[in-house]
Structure 1
Amino acid sequence: MGYRAPLTDIGFVLHHVLKVQDSDIPGYGDLDTGFTQAILEEAGKLCADMLAPLNAVGDREGCRLENGKVRVPSGFQQAFDALRQGGWTAIDCDVDHGGQGLPYILHTAVNETFVSANMALQMYQGLTHGAYSALRVHGTEAQKAYYLPKLATCEWTGTMNLTEPQCGTDLGLIRTKAEPQPDGSYLITGTKIFISAGDHEMASNIIHLVLAKAPGGGEGTRGISLFVVPKYLEDGSRNAVAPGKVEDKMGIHGNATCVMNYDGARGWLVGDLHKGMRAMFTMMNEARLGVALQGYAVAEAAYQSSVGYARERIQGRGVTSGPGPSEALIVHPDVRRMLMDQKAFVEGARALTYWGAVMLDRAHRLGDRAAEGVVSLLIPVMKGFLTDKGFEGAVTAQQVWGGHGYIEDNGVSQYVRDARIAMIYEGANGVQALDLVGRKLTAEGGKPVMDFFDILKSECCAHDDRPEMAEFTGALKVASKQMQAAAMVFAERGMKNPNDALAGSTDFLHLAGHVCLGLMWVRMARAALEMGGSFGAAKLVTARHYMTRALPACALHLARIEAGGASVMALAAEDF
């Protein structure tokens, strides 16, 4: 019952729902079915043969700090070498840097399979991709020439250093200092925590991107600058940065989450002085979409595990089966409910994430401001909703396994533990909800959210002449109106009582998430009707399940939003 890449479903989303091969985005003309299928099949083989078998190994062995060096689990070095040598780390990196220059959507599809197979291992290259992207936009020409080719191929890996012991989301409280030197470099001193892939021996160098405060920047985030701090300097000597601890975590044991100590480490400014937040946020849309992907990709692996168990585990007889021997779990309606809930979520989440990747490609490759506005609006929805529901899906998979799901040897509990972190890092989901309601809804005078409502309206109207689509578009119309009603509540109450609005922010994020998946299921239903056959029929059944069993949650979220924040804010702190 090991993980197998869902290549048929990935191909369906790419070529029948998004129709990437017909897009006007530069580079998409190469994405014909044969080309993407060949790449994804090879990725699937790598997952089945090497990455997935190491998932439990990484969970069992974890990472450890020995004599100043971080040791990764057995087999991780060989697997990482295979990823690097196969060019998998550089799919969408620039050709000039040793990459393949392919669109981000293809990187996203491949990345899904790697996360499902082994999330902890994939994170080493995932963090490197983020460092590559930040330096590509904000680095000097000399920095790009020096760092990007080795980051693209993961000869060197990268990290992002933001959090400190006394601050997480409130980065204005950071204490790490950057002292300017006569040669133009800076000496970085401070402690960073929760640094994923912070140290290891799988690459010949590790390039840390570090937020720190240089003199003259003022208080709060306005005084923050971004610095590139390599583990090894250009002359081969060790820089004054070292891991102080490898954290003992709930999950992703195979990834080295480190406390990093900077003791006058030499670093160089990236971007403008005191504008580090701007440089860091360049990569936030991509990074948060990547975490959204982690949410459903782990749920996909857990779903596959629960389907396999439900087909094999003999337990009772179906209520309509009549007399006879016991049957497999999958005959029971409540087990079917759990499997359908997982299936409908994962398939909808995949389509939403891929659509987000296409919008990022449109923004970056065509300069499409409207696409950039909509994807920026929806990024907190994708990150928050898909990771909340992804964790829920992993728990549901564990429930299908029953008592055996609680036993570590069977593996499904690892998915629960691994999925949990995605709700926390890269901006905790409550922060995503606050960002959505407090900033994104009013961004550009509300243009992106109005553009999104126009997308919903256009999608529904496009099928007015197709009665077979009415059951899907009708449900989406209702949910869309509920989302608009919720937005109006915020507009009417937000200025008078901000707490009243923000108390409903998580409900609004989930309401919007359901609407987004409803939109995806309308599009997938249309594609399924065009395809026909058993695959198309199964898609239509799953679409109906989402529309009738999941999308009605929008009414609950709207009722909570309309209730306001009185009960949330009424108690004094000492009464809790």
Structure 2
Amino acid sequence: MHYQPRPEDLMFLQHSVLQLPEALAALPPFAEVDADLMSQVLQEAGRFVGEVVAPLNRDGDEIGCRFDVQTGAVHTPPGFADAYRALVDGGWPALAAAVDDGGQGLPAVLEASLYEWLSAANHGFTMAPGLLHGAYECLKKHGDDVLRARYLAEIASGRTLATMCLTESQAGSDLGLARTRAVPQADGSLRISGEKIFISGGEHDLTDNIVHLVLVRLPDAPAGPKGLSLALVPKLLPDGTRNAAHCTRIEEKMGLHGSPTCAMRFDDATGWLVGEPGQGLGAMFVMMNAARLHVALQGIGLLDAAWQKADAYARERRQMRAPLRPASRGPQDSADLLIEHPAMRRILDTQRAWIDGARLLAYRTAQQLDAAKHAADPKARERAQRWCSFITPVLKAACSRQAFDGSSECLQVFGGHGYIREWGIEQVLRDARITMIYEGTNEIQAIDLLVRKVLPDAGAAFAACLLELRDELDASRDNEADAQRRMAQLRYIGTAVAMAAQADPQLPYEVADDYLRLVMITLLTWSWARIERTAGPDDARWAAPAQAFRRWVLPEFDLRLGMIKRACEQVQQAAAGAAPSLARG
């Protein structure tokens, strides 16, 4: 039961619903990109993923990576190196890189589609090329001419893989505690010493060279995040000799066995500064923000993989008679397919609603990334950047959570068979769990959204994003008018939280997760309003998940709204002394 991409679903969402070929053709770099070209790329990408990458998934999990204690080498699972060479030879890592850097110069949404499918087919394998885009953007924006000339095309093509070296044993989410040292040398290089943990792909046999982007602290740098700089530290130096960057172990993990998660030691390793001293976090977040959209796509892909397995199983497995089915059927029909049971149908349709609704938002975000860089109108670039700033943390957190929760629901379709390895659904569940943690935990995404982005201007900038979505809807249609009402409620509750926070500054941190979930449900109402308008009421492929969204997902909006509203009221009452029994602790 290997994962199989379905290009027709993506083409419907991208071409018919979002009309991306027309929107992208308005951007100068993509003037010659049309629906036929996009369809061709999707068809070929789907074939490659389904035929080359997906069949390696089970061995990647069961055999995993192997660490050689004597040499420090890491060996990836059987077939991974050949598949990675095929990925590079096909030009897939360079899909969205600039032509001047050896890339194909295609829209980001095609790269997003590719990585969604790769993650669904083989998450462990996809961890290797998954950081290439972010490393490319980081180096292109902040690297000097020498570093760009030396490494940019290598990274764009995938001939050299990259890592993000942020975490240290004492510095997880609080990167300001990082202690890795960098000492400037007379030739302009740095000598870097320290240890980093949880480094995906820190050592492997997929490429000869690996470029590590490492957060470091220069001499006399101030404490905290403002004292951090970013350094590029290659595995192989320009003269071909081995640098003093070593893998000391690989972690034994719950999932992602096909991806080596390394502990790295730098022993006076040679590196070079990327960007300005003390601006390391700013440079790194170019890479981090790109990675966060890709984590959202991982979540969508993994949930789709779980759904495909559960849907296929439900169409083959017979188990008792479905409720309200005719009792006059023959003995051979004494049991019905699981797909006919309403409880199973609810699970499958609900997860389909999440997959397709979230896809639409992710593809719109990918298109906005291109608009932020290439739109001729400065105001259009500003609007696109604003969208990406607000929506990226929402997608990262909500899609990764649903990947885990939804995969668990899909496992339920298998009953006891889902709990054993034979069917592969338990691997999806294990692999999905990390997406809620890495590239910034989901709690950090929620705080970033509410505390750092929404509240500083009392929600005015975020309201502008919502108004853009509102104006794309038709109030004469019931479901679209309902989506508009919920956007208005979301704007209201943001104002309520801003007011209550004046009395209790802790409140936004406490309700941030609920607020992010509320935002995601609101955005999904927009997605499904757009999908239903385009598909029409008679298209069964889209009608069933649309109905499931309204029945089983949308009611959560009122729950989250009520929770936040109640918390705000309690704070205001406690501040006014009107209801001391409702005050905290």
TM-score by length of 2: 0.93
- Out of 345, 348, 352, the position equivalent to 1:336 is 345
Q: Which residue of 1 aligns with 2:573?
A: none
- Aligned partners of 1:171, 1:34: CA distance in 2, in Å? 45
1:355-402 CA deviation, whole Å, 9 max, x = no partner? 110111110112501110122011111111111112111111111111
Amino acid in the other structure paired with 1:430:
E
Residues 21 and 28, structure 1, Cα contact 8 Å, conserved in 2? no
- Aligned partners of 2:255, 2:269: CA distance in 1, in Å? 30
Q: Which residue of 2 aligns with 1:504?
A: 511
1:468-502 CA deviation, whole Å, 9 max, x = no partner? x31x1133134223312321221111122111222
Residues 3 and 52, structure 1, Cα contact 8 Å, conserved in 2? yes
- Aligned partners of 1:443, 1:540: CA distance in 2, in Å? 40
Q: Which residue of 1 aligns with 2:4?
A: 4
- Aligned partners of 1:443, 1:18: CA distance in 2, in Å? 31
Amino acid in the other structure paired with 2:324:
T
1:81-104 CA deviation, whole Å, 9 max, x = no partner? 110000001001111221101111
1:34-92 CA deviation, whole Å, 9 max, x = no partner? 21222111111112212111011100111121121001000000100110000001001
1:353 aligns with 2:356: no
- Out of 86, 91, 98, the position equivalent to 1:87 is 91
Amino acid in the other structure paired with 1:328:
L
The DSSP-based 3-state class of the residue aligned with 1:399 is: helix
The DSSP-based 3-state class of the residue aligned with 1:88 is: coil
Residues 346 and 548, structure 2, Cα contact 8 Å, conserved in 1? no
Q: Which residue of 2 aligns with 1:560?
A: 563
The DSSP-based 3-state class of the residue aligned with 2:127 is: helix
Q: Which residue of 1 aligns with 2:575?
A: none
* TM superposition shift of 1:105: 1.2
- Aligned partners of 1:504, 1:276: CA distance in 2, in Å? 30
Amino acid in the other structure paired with 2:5:
A
Matching of residues 79-478 of structure 1 within 5 Å: 79-323=83-327, 324=329, 325=333, 326-366=335-375, 368-442=381-455, 446-460=459-473, 463-465=474-476, 469-470=477-478, 472-478=479-485
Q: Which residue of 2 aligns with 1:64?
A: 66
Of residues 379-388 and 436-445 in structure 1, the stretch that sits farther from structure 2 once superposed is 436-445
Residues 310 and 414, structure 2, Cα contact 8 Å, conserved in 1? yes
The DSSP-based 3-state class of the residue aligned with 2:220 is: coil
* TM superposition shift of 1:524: 1.1
Residues 295 and 389, structure 1, Cα contact 8 Å, conserved in 2? yes
Residues 247 and 263, structure 2, Cα contact 8 Å, conserved in 1? yes
* Unaligned stretches of 5+ residues in structure 1: 572-576
* TM superposition shift of 1:459: 2.7
* TM superposition shift of 1:201: 1.4
- Aligned partners of 1:448, 1:103: CA distance in 2, in Å? 26
1:491-537 CA deviation, whole Å, 9 max, x = no partner? 111122111222111000000011111111111112113xx7x6x34
Of residues 555-564 and 10-19 in structure 1, the stretch that sits farther from structure 2 once superposed is 555-564
The DSSP-based 3-state class of the residue aligned with 1:492 is: helix
* TM superposition shift of 1:142: 1.2
* TM superposition shift of 1:569: 10
Residues 207 and 230, structure 1, Cα contact 8 Å, conserved in 2? yes
Residues 22 and 29, structure 1, Cα contact 8 Å, conserved in 2? no
Q: Which residue of 1 aligns with 2:56?
A: 54
- Give the fraction of aligned pairs with identical amino acids, expressed as a percent: 40
- Aligned partners of 1:94, 1:500: CA distance in 2, in Å? 44
Q: 1:55 to 1:443 in 2, by over 3 A?
A: farther
- Aligned partners of 2:343, 2:485: CA distance in 1, in Å? 27
- Aligned partners of 1:197, 1:443: CA distance in 2, in Å? 38
* Unaligned stretches of 5+ residues in structure 2: 571-580
The DSSP-based 3-state class of the residue aligned with 1:218 is: coil
Q: Which residue of 2 aligns with 1:40?
A: 42
- Out of 18, 31, 34, the position equivalent to 2:33 is 31
Q: 1:123 to 1:498 in 2, by over 3 A?
A: same
* TM superposition shift of 1:568: 12
Q: 1:170 to 1:263 in 2, by over 3 A?
A: same
- Aligned partners of 2:483, 2:254: CA distance in 1, in Å? 38
Residues 317 and 327, structure 1, Cα contact 8 Å, conserved in 2? yes
Residues 501 and 564, structure 1, Cα contact 8 Å, conserved in 2? no
**CA RMSD, Structure 1 to Structure 2 (Å):** 1.8
1:184-232 CA deviation, whole Å, 9 max, x = no partner? 1111111101101111011010000000000132110110000000001
Amino acid in the other structure paired with 2:321:
R
- Aligned partners of 1:495, 1:352: CA distance in 2, in Å? 33
Q: Which residue of 1 aligns with 2:494?
A: 487
* TM superposition shift of 1:346: 0.4
The DSSP-based 3-state class of the residue aligned with 1:318 is: coil
Q: 1:539 to 1:568 in 2, by over 3 A?
A: farther
Q: Which residue of 2 aligns with 1:574?
A: none
Residues 214 and 223, structure 1, Cα contact 8 Å, conserved in 2? yes
Residues 4 and 48, structure 1, Cα contact 8 Å, conserved in 2? yes
1:15 aligns with 2:15: yes
The DSSP-based 3-state class of the residue aligned with 1:504 is: helix
Amino acid in the other structure paired with 1:217:
A
How many residue pairs get matched? 561
1:416-445 CA deviation, whole Å, 9 max, x = no partner? 001111100000000111111111104567
- Out of 527, 531, 541, the position equivalent to 1:520 is 527
* TM superposition shift of 1:551: 1.4
The DSSP-based 3-state class of the residue aligned with 1:419 is: helix
Residues 115 and 298, structure 2, Cα contact 8 Å, conserved in 1? no
